[in-house]
Amino acid sequence: MKQDCKTKYPILLAHGLAAPDSGVRHPPWGRVPQLLRDRGAVVYMGGQDAWGSIENGAARLEQVLYRMLQEQDCSRVNIIAHSKGGLEARYLISTLGHGRHVASLTMLSTPNRGSRVAEMLLYARPAVALWARGNDAFWARYGDACPDSLRAGEQLTPAYLARFNRENPDAACVYYQSWGARLGRAHTDGAMLLTRGLFYPAHGDSDGLVTPASARWGRWRGTLEGVSHRQIVDVPRRDTAAFSPPRFFVQLVRELAEMGF
């Protein structure tokens, strides 16, 4: 087996909202963790709550970070984050002061400038608050330590992220890069096509939840065309003519290794 994904520093995968690492039918990252391990990478999972706040998720990442530093006898890690996981990683680096422990942060469809989907859903706040209580109760039974669905949604609005960005500036010692994604008209992800269609007039074209403009941060690597918010991290566990998650992640991690990370 090839060892082309053997990086200098271990990799921490930080999942997004509503996508815990275990205990669900379609966990995030799909085939990716085992594929990278088979090709030489050391991979840890973030283990954040499915519906926790940014602060809660960052605290969980901090625990995993300490474990990685100890178990791998390393000084730094690479973080690859999807969606809200990228915000939690940025909070870990900036507010929690772990820039010296993070070599690189790669963000995939992270709403760095917020999502109008979250903003517009919160207009129906009484109904959303009722749903949030039920959702929190469900996830408290199925693995979340501190579910807070309403807070999690509020933290994805453009207004909240404008303040978050001021309070969490980039660390000079960390390499930041990002990708966005955009659905094609013939895409097979029905759920993401529905959310894009519902919110297109106010939101613009997106991967179903996050626009490329919001995802852009650090070194911008571009927009993946014909890719949904879930497909970018291989939730469906299948390739399409437009995109192969395993191929994308192998190339991503190869580049990190070649850059000395």
The first and second tokens of residue 118, run together, are 């979250």
Sign of the Cα pseudo-torsion (20, 23, 28, 29, in order): positive
1 domain-assigned = no
Whether 228 is covered by a domain: the verdict is yes
Residue 126 lies in a domain: yes
Q: Identify whether 95 is part of a domain.
A: yes
Asked, for residue 5, whether it belongs to a domain, the answer is no
130 in any annotated domain = yes
Query: What does each of the 261 residues of the chain score in pLDDT, given as a tens digit?
Result: 789 999 999 999 999 998 888 756 667 899 999 999 999 999 999 999 999 999 999 999 999 999 999 999 999 999 999 999 999 999 999 999 999 999 999 999 999 999 887 777 776 677 888 888 999 899 998 889 999 999 999 999 999 999 999 999 999 999 999 999 988 765 666 566 666 555 555 566 788 889 999 999 999 999 999 899 989 999 989 998 889 999 999 999 999 999 999
Identify the pLDDT of residue 253: 98
Please write the tens of the pLDDT for every residue from 124-148.
Answer: 677 888 888 999 899 998 889 999 9
CA–CA dist 22, 17 (Å, integer): 13
Whole-angstrom distance between the N-terminal and C-terminal Cα of the chain? 21
Q: Is residue 121 part of a domain?
A: yes
How much of the chain is helix, strand and coil, in % rounded to 5?
Answer: 45, 15, 45
**For residue 118, what are the CA distances in angstroms to 129, 161, 183?**
13, 12, 18
The answer to whether residue 2 sits within a structural domain is no
Q: How many domains does the chain have?
A: 1
Cα atoms found within 13 Å of the Cα of residue 3, Cβ hemisphere only: 5
65 touches 53 (CB < 8 A): no
Which CATH number is 51's domain given?
Answer: 3.40.50.1820
In the sheet that 43-45 helps form, which strands lie side by side, from edge to edge?
A: 43-45, 11-14, 77-82, 102-108, 175-182, 219-225
- The domain of 172 spans 11-258
